């Protein structure tokens, strides 16, 4: 099948490469000349495991092309996927100007029947608006569909190639058939394809992300309660997840969720719900809990040094009180991206922690396997970066594990004892064994653990 994918962000690139891998002829287009030039040189603008190789292979086999000629790609295509950005406006609503601009371009280049499918996450009712734009600008027959994408960063290629489900929302019988045919090779069991109307398809995507984010906020809230009650959230998590109706995935408490999807999608659904006259109290609570949770690590670090001070420890920092309660203290961060296996720092809890630490006067040293340059671009020399995870911990008075990259899971703790100034560990992902670490002489604080 001849396909055009408009927008070469996460979703567009992964989808384009994935469709090509299954034998389709795909042109990925973008208005950004710089991005397309990069892709043509074989460079991938984002770090996503397996993506560069997948793109290179399909470019070599001539199934995948990159171009800035949006009109040309549309004209040749049987299906056009809209995968452009839908950033949050100030009120939380999704800004759809790029989506509608693409719809207009599609209409103007409609030389034969085409399926126009949205892959970007768009508010309920967007398919109807796209339908209206197309109708107003072409006499050609077409079919509009909502085909939301569920890939996760860090595992995007895998998710795309082996989806849990494919959602096809369209009122046009031909569009449903075309898309079903396109996706059949991706799903071994055809019951993984869910055919429905466009509004339900659009809402299904928000439902999934809001449900997942709510689960995390619920666990984060419960973790804070567990601390007050002297219970251990880690065993509570396992015991709770053992109920098959609940399931064990996505129950991990931590420093709050980040990324490009959850925060944006929650805000968009909360906005839609309010405007529709049915506010979603649960999703609003999930947002509030997350906003609070992102400060938990910073608060724990602060509380630790304050209690040390109260214990009467003599410290040079006391003289620096005017510069903030953590003046004279060096705090090391492991992990800056919002999750492992990505260089994406959008809405990352690490950024909130950096803000809180700098505001308290601390010196911040950090390491991340992929995201250091993105953080450097924001903070410059205000955050010291080390290419080596132990280098970041050198001379630190505390070390905070923020993102659970593999390399941080079993570090050389004895080495940390030698190189750190004070043995204080803050485990934002409950990765480490408290008893083992206390046995080694560390002070250990996790999330929701006694």
Footprint of ligand UDX on 112-141 (CB under 6 A): none
Angstrom distance (rounded) from CA 270 to CA 395 = 45
Interface region with ligand UDX, contact rule CB under 6 A, candidates 169-177, 245-253, 267-275, 441-449: 245-253
Footprint of ligand UDX on 223-242 (CB under 6 A): none
Residues binding ligand UDX: what is the number (CB under 6 A)?
Answer: 18
Please, where are the H alpha helices in 277-412? 281-293, 296-310, 349-359, 372-379, 389-393
What is the edge-to-edge ordering of all strands in the sheet holding 79-82?
Answer: 64-67, 25-29, 2-6, 79-82, 114-118, 142-146, 166-169, 193-196
Interface region with ligand UDX, contact rule CB under 6 A, candidates 54-62, 103-111, 150-158, 316-324: 150-158
Q: Smallest distance from the beta carbon of 309 to ligand UDX, in angstroms?
A: 31
Cβ atoms of 362 and 303 within 8 Å: the answer is no
Q: Smallest distance from the beta carbon of 60 to ligand UDX, in angstroms?
A: 28
Which helix (H) or strand (E) covers residue 19, if one does? helix 10-21
Q: Looking at beta carbons only, is 110 or 167 nearer to ligand UDX?
A: 167
**Spatial CA neighbour of 155 closest among 291, 341, 405, 415:** 341
Footprint of ligand UDX on 322-381 (CB under 6 A): 338-339
Interface region with ligand UDX, contact rule CB under 6 A, candidates 36-44, 172-180, 259-267, 377-385: 259-267
**Helix orientation angle between 296-310 and 349-359, rounded to the nearest 10 degrees:** 30
Residue tagged active-site, from 28, 106, 261, 420: 261
Q: Which of 18, 198, 259, 423 binds ligand UDX (CB under 6 A)?
A: 259
261: contact with ligand UDX by CB under 6 A: yes
Whether residue 261 lies in the annotated active site: yes
444: contact with ligand UDX by CB under 6 A: no
**Spatial CA neighbour of 254 closest among 289, 284, 279, 283:** 289
CA contacts within 13 A on the Cβ side of 439: 5
Q: Which of 206, 262, 405, 408 binds ligand UDX (CB under 6 A)?
A: 262
Cβ atoms of 400 and 332 within 8 Å: the answer is yes
Q: Quick check: helix, strand or coil at residue 337?
A: coil
Q: Smallest distance from the beta carbon of 133 to ligand UDX, in angstroms?
A: 25
Minimal CB distance to ligand UDX: which residue?
Answer: 261
Q: Looking at beta carbons only, is 193 or 326 nearer to ligand UDX?
A: 193
153: contact with ligand UDX by CB under 6 A: yes
**Helix orientation angle between 349-359 and 372-379, rounded to the nearest 10 degrees:** 40
Q: Looking at beta carbons only, is 271 or 405 nearer to ligand UDX?
A: 405
Footprint of ligand UDX on 32-91 (CB under 6 A): none
Q: Which of 257, 334, 426, 432 binds ligand UDX (CB under 6 A)?
A: 257
Q: Looking at beta carbons only, is 114 or 264 nearer to ligand UDX?
A: 264
Please, where are the H alpha helices in 138-230? 156-161, 173-183, 198-229
Cβ atoms of 24 and 1 within 8 Å: the answer is yes
Q: Looking at beta carbons only, is 113 or 218 nearer to ligand UDX?
A: 218
DSSP 3-state helix, strand, coil percentages of the chain (rounded to 5)?
A: 50, 15, 40
216: contact with ligand UDX by CB under 6 A: yes
- What residues line the site for ligand UDX (CB under 6 A)? 150-153, 209, 212, 216, 250-252, 254, 257-259, 261-262, 338-339
Active site residues: 261
């Amino acid at each position: 099948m001849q396909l055009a994918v408009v927008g070469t962000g996460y979703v567009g690139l992964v989808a384009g490469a994935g469709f090509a891998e299954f034998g389709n002829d795909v042109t990925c287009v973008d208005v950004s000349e710089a991005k397309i030039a990069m892709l043509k040189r074989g460079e991938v603008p984002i770090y996503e495991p397996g993506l560069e190789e997948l793109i290179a292979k399909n470019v070599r086999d001539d199934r995948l092309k990159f171009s800035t000629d949006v009109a040309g790609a549309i004209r040749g295509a049987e299906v056009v996927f809209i995968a452009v950005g839908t950033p949050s406006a100030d009120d939380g609503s999704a800004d759809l100007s790029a989506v509608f601009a693409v719809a207009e371009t599609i209409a103007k280049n409609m030389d034969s029947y085409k399926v126009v499918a949205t892959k970007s996450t768009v508010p309920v009712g967007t398919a109807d608006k796209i339908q209206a734009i197309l109708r107003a600008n072409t006499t050609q027959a077409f079919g509009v569909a909502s085909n939301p994408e569920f890939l996760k960063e860090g595992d995007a290629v895998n998710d795309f190639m082996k989806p849990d489900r494919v959602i096809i929302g369209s009122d046009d019988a031909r569009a449903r058939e075309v898309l079903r045919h396109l996706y059949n090779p991706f799903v071994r069991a055809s019951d993984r394809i869910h055919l429905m109307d466009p509004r339900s398809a659009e809402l299904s995507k928000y439902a999934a992300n809001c449900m997942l984010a709510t689960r995390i906020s619920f666990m984060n809230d419960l973790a804070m309660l567990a601390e007050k009650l002297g219970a251990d959230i880690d065993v509570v998590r396992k015991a709770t997840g053992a109920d098959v109706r609940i399931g064990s995935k996505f129950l991990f408490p931590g420093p709050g969720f980040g990324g490009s999807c959850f925060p944006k999608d929650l805000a968009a659904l909360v906005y839609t719900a309010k405007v529709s006259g049915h506010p979603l109290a649960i999703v609003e609570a999930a947002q509030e809990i997350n906003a609070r949770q992102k400060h938990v690590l910073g608060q724990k670090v602060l509380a630790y040094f304050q209690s040390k001070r109260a214990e009467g420890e003599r410290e040079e920092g006391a003289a620096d009180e005017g510069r903030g309660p953590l003046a004279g203290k060096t705090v090391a961060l492991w992990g800056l991206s919002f999750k492992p296996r990505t260089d994406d720092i959008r809405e990352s809890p690490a950024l909130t922690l950096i803000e809180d630490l700098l505001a308290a006067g601390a010196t911040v040293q950090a390491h991340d396997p992929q995201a250091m340059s993105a953080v450097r671009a924001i903070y410059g020399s205000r955050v010291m970066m080390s290419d080596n995870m132990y280098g970041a911990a050198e001379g630190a008075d505390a070390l905070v594990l923020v993102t659970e990259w593999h390399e941080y899971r079993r570090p050389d703790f004895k080495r940390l004892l030698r190189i750190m100034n004070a043995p204080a560990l803050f485990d934002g992902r409950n990765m480490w064994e408290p008893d083992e670490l206390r046995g080694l002489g560390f002070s250990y604080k996790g999330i929701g653990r006694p």
